[in-house]
Amino acid sequence: MANPTGEQFELTRGGARAVVTEIGAGLRAFEINGVPYVETFDAAEEPPKGAGQVLLPWPNRTRGARWTHDGTTQHLAVTEPARGNAIHGLVRHAEWRLVEHGEYFIRLETEVADEPGWPVPLHTEIVYALSPRGITVTHEVHNAGAESVGFGVGTHPYPRIGDVPTEELTLTLSATRVRPHVDHDWPFGEETDVAGTDHDLRAGRIVGGLDLDTAFGGLTPGADGLHHHLLHHDRTTLDLWTEPDFGWVQVFTPPRLGDRGRAIAVEPMTCPADALNSGTDLISLAPGEKWRASWGIHVESLA
């Protein structure tokens, strides 16, 4: 393989452009008229801090890299050694096969194999569809095994608004619940109401005042039935929208990402951390069943 992200698949539509990677099926770039709206990285580099990656069959962490399926303890690879957890699923470093590359969309597929720690094979596809002002990402999962299984899906974009420093952006979340930080070993506490706390982002907060690696739930849909998480600066608004199945969002504000300084990840998730153990909002599929849901980014700039 020429680089750690494999072949690069480019989409263009008017002034909009996106780049999707073969390894991990990640969103490496999305821009409109040359203005970037997600953090990007060189194709010869590993995605920094999970940038753009697909998180499946669970997002975030599985505590202790262990869970139980049908009465049998499953042992996953420890992929977060510092905390002893399994993080972000099994397809981030998988090779995804090209199924179809249309004028404005691309479809890729891969398998989650029956392997130690994951006993039920899944077939999954992803479609990236470009519009003049945005991109829609559709995930599909098919239970290819002989028994039911629960799973989760997430993704890891770092939205931005051009070269505006991340600290100057305003973040608005449609979240009424939060799992606040606890400690280093397991930083996810009990779910609580955001009202009256620093985690209430419904009216918008400047990112420079936030320090988060935090899961938010209790998402309130808009009039269109979708959840909307907004980044705003001056006369530009980036709307990261999700369908109702993405009932959680993880917000992560690392002090540095690549060469650009501070960044913010706004991660749509169908379930919170450790859902394989808690069962919280796991998607259950019987043999042969399929699940599909979408999220996307839409950008509006007022002249």
State pLDDT tens for residues 120-149: 999 999 999 999 999 999 999 999 999 999
Q: Which residues contact 72 (CB under 8 A, 6 or more apart)?
A: 119
249 close to 201: Cβ distance less than 8 angstroms: no
CA atoms within 13 A on the CB side of 258: 15
Q: Round to whole Å and give the CA distance between 48 and 43.
A: 11
Chain length of the chain? 303
Q: Round to whole Å and give the CA distance between 9 and 104.
A: 11
Whether 1 has a pLDDT exceeding 50, the answer reads no
Q: Which residues contact 286 (CB under 8 A, 6 or more apart)?
A: 143, 148
Q: Residue 210: pLDDT band by 50, 70, 90 thresholds?
A: very high
Amino acid 182: pLDDT: 64
Q: Compute the average pLDDT of residues 142-171.
A: 97
CA quadruple 196, 199, 203, 208: dihedral, nearest 10: 130
Q: Round to whole Å and give the CA distance between 245 and 200.
A: 22
Kindly report the average pLDDT of the chain as a whole number.
94
Residue 173 class from Cβ within 10 Å (0-12 exposed, 13-18 middle, 19+ buried)? buried
Q: Is 117 helix (H, G, I), strand (E, B) or coil?
A: coil
Angstrom distances, CA of residue 178 to CA of 168, 188, 192, 197: 23, 9, 5, 10
Q: Round to whole Å and give the CA distance between 59 and 66.
A: 14
Q: Round to whole Å and give the CA distance between 258 and 208.
A: 18
Residue 241 forms beta bridges with which residues?
228, 296
pTM: 0.96
Joined together, the tokens standing for residue 53 give 């990656």
Q: Where are the domains of the chain?
A: 8-301
Q: Is 278 helix (H, G, I), strand (E, B) or coil?
A: helix
Amino acid 230: pLDDT: 98
Q: Compute the average pLDDT of residues 59-67.
A: 95
Residue 98 forms beta bridges with which residues?
108
Whether 187 has a pLDDT exceeding 70, the answer reads no
pLDDT in tens, 263-283: 999 999 999 999 999 999 999
Q: Which fold has domain 8-301?
A: Beta-galactosidase; Chain A, domain 5 (2.70.98)
